[in-house]
Amino acid sequence: MLDIGAIHRAEYELDTDRPGKASAAEPVVIAEAPGRIHYLGEHGEPKAGLYLSSAIDRHIQVAVSARKDNSLRFFAADLGERKRTTLINLKYKREDRWANYIKVAIHIFAEMGYPVKGLNFTVCGDIPQQIGLASSSAMEVAAAAALRSFLKVSMNDKELIRRLGLAQEIFYGKDSASVDYLILLSARKDHFVLADEVSGEVQLIKSPFSRYKVLIMDSRVPRMGVDEELKQRRQKIKKGLELLSQNREGASFREFAALDLVESMGNLPEEIRRRSMHVVQELRRVADAADALSRADMPSLIRLIFHSHESLRDLYEVSCPEIDWLVKRAQETEGVFGSRMTGQGFGGCTYTFIRDKALEDYAKRLEEYERIFGFRPVSYEVKIATGARVLAGRK
């Protein structure tokens, strides 16, 4: 990754609005936050999910320093793009794109009354974009962690997560990705994170995959109309819960996860039944997978991963032929432990646990992909990594 500290100092060495006047580029605080993978649990009940996830060794880094004026400056080193605003005008602007994520973090501390005036920000990273690896959440968390340290704010991670969620909802007018914040701040190297969206609690489980790589495969499938499709599925889930609970206030699919619902769900309209069945069964799979990991029961975990993909394909119906093809080829490759789609679906990517010796064989199987589908898949090898941290400056 780029040397963000050196880039930040070079970018803000001279204040371009006041020629010859050195800006206050020191001290510089640098923080980073990782991307993440959801292995199981995605597409569950909104605000009540149970996830088996991990951070990955791809990161967003944010550097921050003070200015002598009241301007807020943003520089994306990877893109060579610059944005600017002021505290008075701190709001979402479509044209500001990536800078909006840093504004979310600034909003937290400005609302709390901390002395947020003129600030310089530089951002860079190596998380693949728009394939479901939480690059935007990583930028928000990295910026918030950098500001928390820079402003010497005494705030624990739980409170930071809460405030990030509120700020994100204010800026974007929609539900926040609080579970992503929870995972990115709690993750540890070589550990899976069992994240409970209801309680905000996590359980760290040692990974048994020391001899495996995690291979992320971007299908490169064009994705259009995804938000509307997912909205429809969430509506079906909501209706299914209402029917199962007879509109009881405070009901959750978790109440039904331990029950045999085949008969009772048989009375639901077919599409609602399929969507609801996926949610209930996925809750069971996450809990069972956590148990299998704790016992290093690899065969059970393999079955759960593949069954989860089948459920996303057949019950929740967010997969697509290209993704199914990638998972099927992985299943056929000796040395592959498990493979499944991850992300919003309708394209996007898969993850695969694979031994080094199997990489060449899997790559050969993928040679037909472009001929069949017209897209060339892109792969990324990643490791299970630690969570957000301050790299330089005040800690």
Q: Give DSSP secondary structure letters for 271-317.
A: HHHHHHHHHHHHHHHHHHHHHHHHTT-HHHHHHHHHHHHHHHHHTS-
Contacts of 318 (CB under 8 A, 6+ apart): 43, 229, 230, 233, 312, 341, 344, 345, 346
Helix residue ranges, H only, 315-347: 321-331
CB-based contacts of 90: which residues, under 8 Å, 6+ apart?
72, 103, 106, 107, 110
- Of 203, 197, 238, 264, nearest to 42 by C-alpha is 197
Cα–Cα distance between 313 and 304 in angstroms, integer?
A: 14
- Is 67 strand, coil or helix? coil
> Could you tell me which of 166, 125, 169 has the C-alpha nearest to residue 143?
125
Q: Tokens in use for 305?
A: 């991963």
3-state secondary structure of 246: coil
Using an 8 Å Cβ cutoff, are 53 and 38 in contact?
A: yes
Dihedral in degrees, nearest 10, Cα atoms 316, 322, 324, 330: -150
Catalytic residue among 15, 157, 180, 218: 180
Closest to 353 measured CA to CA, from 304, 320, 313, 283: 304
Specify the pairing of strand 336-342 against strand 349-354. antiparallel
**CA–CA gap between residue 120 and residue 5 (Å, rounded):** 12
In sign, the C-alpha dihedral spanning 253, 255, 256, 257 is positive
Q: Which helix (H) or strand (E) holds 81?
A: strand 81-86
**Is 180 an annotated catalytic residue?**
yes
Q: Could you give the CA distance from residue 352 to residue 361 in angstroms, rounded to a whole number?
A: 14
Q: Which amino acid is at 331?
A: Q
Report, as residue numbers or ranges, the catalytic residues. 180
